[in-house]
Structure 1
Amino acid sequence: MSNVVHFLETLGASPNTLSAANYAQAVEALGVDAVSREALLARDTNAINHALDGRAAMRCLVFVPD
């Protein structure tokens, strides 16, 4: 798992644990590339998705047998 994904997972599990200053320090401490770091600091979801080579959209289809 990438450091960015793990960071976001941890942040999502307890979102109130970091103040704005502590958030910036935590992002800097990740040791990720500049693109990912800037995307995280800007809290830009599209840039984070692009930095992680994510998909623009994902679909799930469920086919129920007749």
Structure 2
Amino acid sequence: MSNVVQFLEALGASPNQISGANYASAVAAAKLDAAAHEALVARDQDGLNRAISGRAAMRCFVFVPD
């Protein structure tokens, strides 16, 4: 699992523990590459997606048998 995913997972597991003031220091403490770090600080979803080579779009289809 990438460091970005681990950071986001930890952030999602306890969102109330990281306030706006502590967010920047939490991002700085995480071991991230420069592009991911800048995208997280700027709260840039598209930039973060590009930094981790994510997909531009994802679709899910459910086929129900007759």
CA RMSD of aligned residues (A): 1.1
The two structures have a TM-score, normalised by structure 2, of: 0.88
Regions of 4+ moved over 6 Å: none
The two structures have a TM-score, normalised by structure 1, of: 0.88
Counterpart position of 2:30: 30
Find the aligned partners of 2:33 and 2:10 in 1 and give their Cα distance: 19
Question: Number of residues paired by the alignment?
Answer: 66
% same residue = 67
Q: Which residues of structure 1 form unaligned runs of 5+?
A: none
Q: CA deviation at 1:56?
A: 1.1
Which aligned pairs between 1:1-66 and structure 2 lie closer than 5 A?
A: 1-66=1-66
